[in-house]
Structures are given as C-alpha cells and as structure tokens.
Amino acid sequence: MAINLDRARIIDENFSKQVSTGKLPSAHSLITPTQANLAKNALLDLFDSQLVSRHLDLYARILKARNLGFYTIGSSGHEGNAALGKVFRYTDMAFLHYRSGAFMVQRAKQVADINIINDTLLALMAAKADPIASGRHKVFGNKKLFVPPQTSTIASHLPKAIGAAISIPKAKALGVNADMPDDSVILASFGDGSVNHATAQTAFNTAQWLTYSHVPLPIVFVCEDNGLGISVQTPPHWITDTIKPRPHLHYVLADGLNLADVYQAAQQAVAIAREKLIPVFLHMKCVRLMGHAGSDVEDVYLSTTEIAQHEADDPLLHTARIILENNWLSANDIIKRYEQVRAQVVSTANDLIPQVQLRNATDIMAAIIPPPTTQESKPLPTQAQRQQCFAEHYKQISKPRNLAQMLNIALTDLLLQYDNAVVFGEDVAQKGGVYHVTADLYARFRSRRVFNAILDEQAILGAAIGLAHNGFIPIPEIQYLAYVHNAIDQIRGEAATLSFFSNGQFTNPMVIRIPGMAYQQGFGGHFHNDNSLAALRDIPGIIIALPSNGLDAVKMLRHCMQLAYHQQRVIIFIEPIALYMTKDLHKPGDQLWLQHYPELTADIKLGEIGVYYSYDEHDDNNVVAIVTYGNGYYLARQAADILKTQHQIAVKIIDLRWLAPLPQQALLAQLQNIDKILIVDEGRKTGSISESLLTMFVNHLQPLPTIKCLTGADSFITLGNSWQCLLPDKTAIVEAIKHIIA
C-alpha cells in the first residue's frame, strides 16, 4: 500500500491510541481556553468541527480507493481554522484556501438547514446534486454562507478579496444595495507557499498602498503556514520575517495547533479589521498531515522522522489534551466522540452512494453563462441631471464627435444611470486617461465613483471582481491590450469561472474597457500596439465587443452595461486606439468619421452586425463581401470607395462588432447569396479571428464561396514607420478584392 494511504491509517489509529494512553503532544503556546474566553461548550463545539473535517478527509481517500470519489486534498493538520469559523460572522465573505474544511463545518453551524457533511461528500463524489458546483469541481462554497467557490487558490483569489473589502465601505458611502452588511470583514485564506506568488505580493502591496492612502480596507489575510508548498519547504521564519515588518499591514501570530490561541488571535484580527478598517495578516502556524493529496508520496521529500514529527503534532491531539487538562471529558468520552463522528460521515456517505454525475456537455456548460436577474432597469438620466452633470460641456454633446469623445459622453450617462457603477484604472481620474476618454469624469462624480488604481493589472481586475461580488458594476480600464496579459488569470481563472463553479449562484458582472489594437502611426511599439485577441477569445462565457466608430461604440457600451446589470455577464470592451481621434475617412477635412450622439434609448444588441453597401440596391449578385471589424472596417470603407470609383467593383462590408461569441446567425444570413468573401483581420494570422470565421464558413455555407484572408503578420508591432509592413491597409484590400474577382 502507498505511503500516503498508510499514513492516513496510522494517523487515524494513533488518535485513539494516544488519547487512551495519554501520550499527547506538549503545548507550543500557553494560551488557555480561560484566557481566550473560550468556554467549555464552545471549545467542544469547535472540537466536533475538527473531527468532522478529519473524518471527511479520511473518507475522501476511501471513496477514491473505491473509484467513487475524485478529490483528496484534505484539511488535516489545519483543523485549527475551525476557530475562524466561529469568530467571523457568516456574512463576512470568505475567499478560502482548499484546506478550510473545519472552517466550513463551523461556519455552517451559524445558518440553519445546511448539512455540511452531506454537501462535502457530494462534492467529493463530483455529484450533480452537489449544491455549490453541481459536480464541476470539488470546492468549498455556499451562497448562504457567503463563501464563493475557489478552485486552485495559489493566491489568485487574493486580489478579488481586496476588491470585496473595498466594496464594503464604498457601498455604505454611496448607498449601494450591497449583499454584505456594511460592517462586514473579508477573510482570505491561503498557504505559506502561496505567499511567494506574484499574485499574493500584488494583494499585500495593494492593501498596504490603499491603507497608506487612507482607503478603508476591512480584510483579514489568513496564512495557514504548514511549512510546505507541496514538496517545497518554506524556510523557517520566512513568513514572519518577510511579512511582520511590512508597514500598514497589521501582523498577528497564532498557534494553529491550539484552538484557544487561534480563537484569541482571530478575535483580535477581526476586531482590528472591523473597527479600524485596516488590513490584518493573521499568521496561523500549523502542520500538514497525509501529504498534499492522496497521490502525494511524502517520503520522497520528507524523512520518516519528519513525517512522524508532524503527525505527533496533530491538532486533534492538541485539542484532546486541552479537554483532558480541563477535565471536560474523559479519554473514553473523547474516543467515543471521535467514533460517533466517523459513523455519522460513513452513514451519510452510504445514503448518498451511488451518485449521478453530469453526463453531457449541455449540462456541464449550462452554468458558464450566469442566469439573468429579475431586477428592474435603472431609469435613464433626465435632461436636468445631464445638464447639471455636463455643465458647460452640455451644448457640445449635440456636435459631431470622435470615438473618444463619444465614449466619454456615454460613460457619463452610464454613471448617471447606474448608481452602482464605478470607473477606475491607471490614470483614469484627474488625468482623464492616456487618451482622455475618461476626461472630466472625476470632476463630475468625484473619487467614490471614479478613481485611480495602483499600477498593477492584477490588482485592477481583482478589485473589479471583488466589487462585483457586493452589488457594484465595475468598469475597470486596462490601459493597453498588451497589459492584460499580466493579469489574464484574473479574467480566465477567476471572473469567467465563478458562475461555472457555483452553478450560477455567484456572479461578478463587469465591463472591462481596454484600449487596444494597432495602427497608431508608429507610436509605442508592440507594448502599445497589441493586435492579438487570442488569449481572450478562448475563455468560455465572456463577451468581447470591439466597435469601429463612435456611434457604434456608444450603443454597444450601453448594451454591455445592460448585459452586466441584467444578465450578470463579464464583458471585454476593446476600443481601437487608432480611431479614438479620427475625424476623416477619405480625405482631410471630410469629417466622415465624426458622428452625432444617439438618443439615450438606442443600443446595439449582442449578435447584431453592421452592414455597409457600396452600391445603391441591395442585390448581392456579383458582390464581394468583406468581413472585418475595428480598424479593418475603417480601412475597408476607404477601399470600397476606391473599388467603386476606380474599378466599378461593388462590395458589402460586414462589421462584426462582437468578437465573442461571434455573431454567427446574423453573419451567415448576410452571406447566403455571396460567392466571394474577403476576411480582413488586423490580428496576427495565427490565432486570429479569421481562423474561426473560416471554420464557420466551411461548416455552414453551401456551396462554399471563394474565401481569402488578409491578416496581420505573425509579428510584434514595431516602432516608427515599419509597422506598415505588418498590417493590412486599404491598398492591400483593394488588391485582394481585384484578385478574388479576376
């Protein structure tokens, strides 16, 4: 039998043996239940939670051996976190480490009608009946307990915990209808190995920066330090020596093997965070038992002596010693209690076996897109509200505007309409953004609604997720498309997965604005001219919008806000930088790319495409269709004029507008009678949208038209004028069309 299963058996047998013989570990800390104001019944209640967590761990391995369970990362050695489950209110949202079993057991006692043993076993079995993830993953989560699910918490949940903490006092100040009470505290737990992750460092630094900037931040970071990151040992005192000296992050140490010590330290940490609204780092020293997971063979990287030392410090044995020292139970009573919990877990499991799992793709994918809400639409701003807000700029709204100006007006109207919307990012406040898209928003709405963020994309996107957890619709800005790659996991691994792993119970709606794409006349090089969308397009469930002009941008942004508000969607809104200030289309001074601001009710819905005809009658015979988006649409319009006037060639230009999901139904309808198609894609050839379009056309257009692609080169964008060698232009479009019809 493998060592990890042997150790589980040994740990199980040792508990009763050592309790009965009185060979219990010595105390590491001297805090007693009396000193911690932890009464007999309260401690015994915590002990029961520890026992439940332990037996769930043990039974997880039995289920795995019988091919009935699929998850064996356990909480053994960390059961001291049961005390956290008692100290924190159940309305204090908890972003949890995967070793939080005892915490969940204890927190569940605060709310009626939650059978945590039943729920955990269902999760271990990947059962469709699992009340949080419906078998999609084994997660700790519960809507009633304010525990959003986390799947692989290597610190990726910490930035959004910061955002949730920001949201609590902000919601109170703005009168937002929040999910959490206005005196709540956020809990975020993680292992010592995770502290070294860049995402954790982002979170700690952001917390310190916010506190230094006098931003209230009621959060408690809980580092459950067992000295190991799978097999990588954390140097002794590393966490204390690197975290304790940090300014603006209050450090509290706890002996995780002593329930009284954890209870007292947790009370201190929560009081500081709740009353002073500052971040606290609760360092809980514990041990890890039974390896990282069932497949982890500890003796490959730990000696037998080291393993035995960890097992001798079993927190359940420490709690048993405390109980015996206080004469609260006899050794026989403790062992009886231990076996009664085992019987309860086994009996519950037997009642659940066998379990139905998700069996088809439709059921599995049903939770990728969140369920719609039934909340009433927010009223549109009145003329008086707009006049007061825009002030001296109000008269300018009626004039033809460029893309950047149109977006600025739209954002103002949306902030007026949605009182729970906030705009934030790098330089978006007083400066008004690098391209002045958010100019004057700070003056109009002040710092509670429009604010600068720390220069860290993980912090920005994490803040958006956390704010969305508590009743806000965040509109964060990532300054350039290339910058989003620094933090793509906050979208892919956190925002987009929340509905999926909670079966639609938890959502984080948002509209992420990202200036992007290329064609910036040689400015900035590759880091400011990123024309690749591949990393975003394969993320299930998100929406990607990319307007080509100011009028479309306003209408699409409005609909994106509706999608976030009513359908709880995560939306990426890409803004083509090169078109921000564009006025002219064909020649200097024609001002054909300036447009009038639309009525407040006008929008462009998801899946609606734009169509431009270079000919008078909508007869598609002998017409070439250009399928494109963004800058490609602008260039195609220029090419269409040349094709019509110089070559008598008619084209139909289709502006996709929506890049994920692609507007398949509307697009195919426009191509039914077309026998020649040119795809103009400003993205790189490899991984471009053209690949998906080609697949769509091959699968759905019969007979198959002649199809050609004009894409960007598989290259980074250069500085200076050489960028023109890498991207489609109007001349290339004209030549491609001539070649198709030749």
* Alpha-carbon span 593 to 508, nearest angstrom: 35
- How far apart are alpha carbons 34 and 191 in whole angstroms? 29
From 274, 264, 242, 315, select the one nearest 57 (Cα to Cα). Answer: 315
Does the pLDDT at position 618 exceed 70? no
What pLDDT score was predicted for residue 522?
Answer: 75
Predicted confidence at residue 526, as pLDDT, reads 85
Q: Phi, psi (5° rounding) for residue 550?
A: -65, -40
- Count of Cβ atoms closer than 10 Å to residue 696 Cβ: 16
> Measuring CA to CA, how many Å separate 374 from each of 93, 186, 371, 468, 567?
24, 28, 10, 17, 9
Query: Is pLDDT above 90 for 622?
Result: no
What is the average per-residue pLDDT within 135-146? 97
Write down the pLDDT at residue 523.
80
Q: Which run of H or of E encompasses 123?
A: helix 116-124
Helix (H, G, I), strand (E, B) or coil at 591: coil
Confidence at residue 524, expressed as pLDDT on a 0 to 100 scale:
79
Pick the closest to residue 520 from 559, 568, 576 (CA basis): 576
Residue 525: pLDDT band (50, 70, 90) is: confident
What is the average pLDDT across 391-405?
95
Residue at 502: amino acid letter: S
Write down the pTM of the prediction.
Answer: 0.96
Residues 6 or more apart whose CB falls under 8 angstroms from that of 602 comprise: 554, 555, 558
Contact 568, 507 (CB under 8 A): yes
- Beta-carbon contacts of residue 296 (< 8 Å; ≥ 6 apart): 4, 230, 231
CA separation for the pair 297, 231 (Å, rounded): 10
Asked whether the predicted pLDDT for residue 710 surpasses 90, the reply is yes
CATH class name, domain 26-354: alpha beta
Residue 521: pLDDT above 90?
Answer: no
Radius of gyration of the chain (CA): 29
Burial (0-12, 13-18, 19+ Cβ within 10 Å), 366: middle
What average pLDDT does range 442-456 have in this prediction?
96
Counting residues of the chain whose pLDDT is more than 70, the rounded percentage is 99
Dump pLDDT digits (tens) for 369-378. Answer: 999 999 999 9
List 424's β-bridge partners, or say none.
451, 476
Determine how many CB atoms are found less than 10 A away from the CB of residue 638: 17
Q: Write the pLDDT tens digit of every residue in 222-232.
A: 999 999 999 99
Q: How many CB atoms lie within 10 A of CB 126?
A: 20
DSSP E strands in 382-519: the ranges are: 421-425, 450-452, 473-477, 510-516
Strand partners, 91: none
Rounded Cα–Cα distance for residues 250 and 153 (Å): 23
pLDDT grade for 3, boundaries at 50, 70 and 90: very low
In 299-405 the beta strands, taken as DSSP E runs, fall at none
- Considering the domain delimited by 610-741, tell me its CATH architecture: 3-Layer(aba) Sandwich (3.40)
Average pLDDT over residues 526-552: 95
Q: Which helix (H) or strand (E) holds 438?
A: none
HSE-CB at 392 with a 13 A cutoff on CA atoms is 2
Residue 324 has pLDDT above 50, yes or no: yes
Q: Is the pLDDT of residue 191 over 50?
A: yes
Token pair for 675 = 């026998």
Tokens of 645: 């006037």
Give the pLDDT score at 1. Answer: 36
Mean pLDDT, all residues of the chain: 96
CA dihedral 592, 428, 479, 636 (to 10 degrees): -10
CATH 3.40.50.920 in the chain is located at 610-741
Average pLDDT value for residue range 563-584: 98
Residue 715, H or E segment: none
Q: How far is CA 33 from CA 30, 282, 326, 328, in A?
A: 10, 19, 9, 12
What gap in Å lies between CA 707 and CA 662, rounded to an integer?
A: 18
pLDDT in tens, 233-243: 999 999 999 99
Predicted local confidence at residue 527, as pLDDT: 81
Type of residue found at 548: S
Task: Pick the closest to residue 147 from 194, 104, 88, 182 (CA basis).
Answer: 104
- Class in CATH terms, 383-579: alpha beta
Note the pLDDT of residue 619: 72
Q: Which helix (H) or strand (E) holds 165?
A: helix 158-174
With a cut of 80, say whether residue 80 has pLDDT above it: yes
Q: pLDDT-based confidence at 383, cuts 50/70/90?
A: very high
Query: What is the mean predicted confidence (pLDDT) over 82-97?
Result: 98
Residue 94 pLDDT more than 70? yes
Which H or E element spans position 188?
strand 186-191
Structure tokens at 603: 């929008």
Instruction: Provide the 10 A C-beta neighbour count for residue 446.
Output: 11
| Residue of 170, 181, 164 lying closest to 506 (CA atoms) | 164
- Could you tell me where in the chain the CATH 3.40.50.970 domains are found? 26-354, 383-579
The predicted pLDDT at position 615 comes to: 86
Q: Tell me the mean pLDDT in the region 397-417.
A: 98
Can you tell me the distance from the alpha carbon of 440 to that of 312, in angstroms, rounded to the nearest whole number? 63
